[in-house]
């Protein structure tokens, strides 16, 4: 993962990124989560395909306090924000085409 538009964030950085960027994809993940690990290369691919999208990765173990605040009930959870508003939430291992569609809408 060497993309400039992917960052790892805590709660403060997450809020700043959501408010400061037009389109943000938030990836709530954990190292022990097999579907999270399986989706990691797809997230990297999204970063290449959608360079204008800021991708924020939140480690659910390190930032457990954010899970209830952002209504994360399972991992992985992807959330798409446009102009600071959540417009999409994808739970579990989802196909790449569904991730693409969420960013295109």
For residue 94, what are its two tokens? 């989802």
Out of 17, 30, 33, 42, which one is annotated catalytic?
A: 33
Q: Does residue 42 have an active-site annotation?
A: no
Out of 24, 36, 43, 78, which one is annotated catalytic?
A: 36
Spatial distance between the Cα atoms of 92 and 44, rounded to a whole number of angstroms: 17
Q: Does residue 33 have an active-site annotation?
A: yes
Angle of CA points 103, 90, 3, to nearest 5°: 50
Supply the residues annotated as catalytic: 33, 36
């Amino acid at each position: 993962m060497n993309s400039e538009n992917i960052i790892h964030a805590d709660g403060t950085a997450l809020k700043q990124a959501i408010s400061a960027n037009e389109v943000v994809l938030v990836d709530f993940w954990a190292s022990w989560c097999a579907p999270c690990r399986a989706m990691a290369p797809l997230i990297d691919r999204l970063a290449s395909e959608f360079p204008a999208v800021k991708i924020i990765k939140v480690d659910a173990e390190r930032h457990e306090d954010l899970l209830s605040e952002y209504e994360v009930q399972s991992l992985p959870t992807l959330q798409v924000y446009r102009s600071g508003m959540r417009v999409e939430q994808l739970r579990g291992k989802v196909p790449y085409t569904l991730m693409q569609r969420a960013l295109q809408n």
